[in-house]
Amino acid sequence: MSTSVLEVRGLRKRYRRLRGGATVAVDGLDLDVPEGGVFGFLGPNGSGKTTTIRVAVGMHRATAGEVRLFGRPVPSGLSEVMSRVGAIVEAPALHPGFTGRRNLEVLARVAGVSDARVDEVLEIVDLTGRDRHRVKGYSLGMKQRLAIAGALLKDPPLLVLDEPANGLDPAGIREVRELIRRLGAEGRTVFLSSHQLHEVQQVCDHVAILSRGRLIAQGSVRELLAGGKAEEHRVTIATKRPSVATATTCW
Percentage of the chain beyond pLDDT 70 is 88
Tell how strand 189-194 and strand 37-42 pair up. parallel
pTM comes to: 0.86
Mean pLDDT of the chain: 89
Predicted confidence (pLDDT) per residue in 35-60, tens digit: 999 999 999 999 999 999 999 999 99
Tell me the C-alpha distance between 209 and 216, whole Å.
5
Per-residue model confidence (pLDDT) at position 246: 54
- pLDDT for residue 229 is more than 50: no
| For residues 202-214, average pLDDT | 94
pLDDT of residue 80: 95
Structural contact between residues 55 and 61, judged by C-beta atoms closer than 8 angstroms: yes
pLDDT tens-digit map of 106-157: 999 999 999 899 999 999 999 999 999 999 999 999 999 999 999 999 999 9
Q: Is the pLDDT score of 84 beyond 80?
A: yes
Neighbours of 198 (CB within 10 A): 13
pLDDT at position 192:
96
Report which of 185, 6, 162 is spatially closest to residue 84, judged by C-alpha positions: 6
DSSP string, 185-243: HTT-EEEEEESBHHHHHHH-SEEEEEETTEEEEEEEHHHHHSSGGGGGS------S-HH
Q: In what order do the strands lie in the sheet with 72-73?
A: 22-34, 4-16, 64-69, 72-73
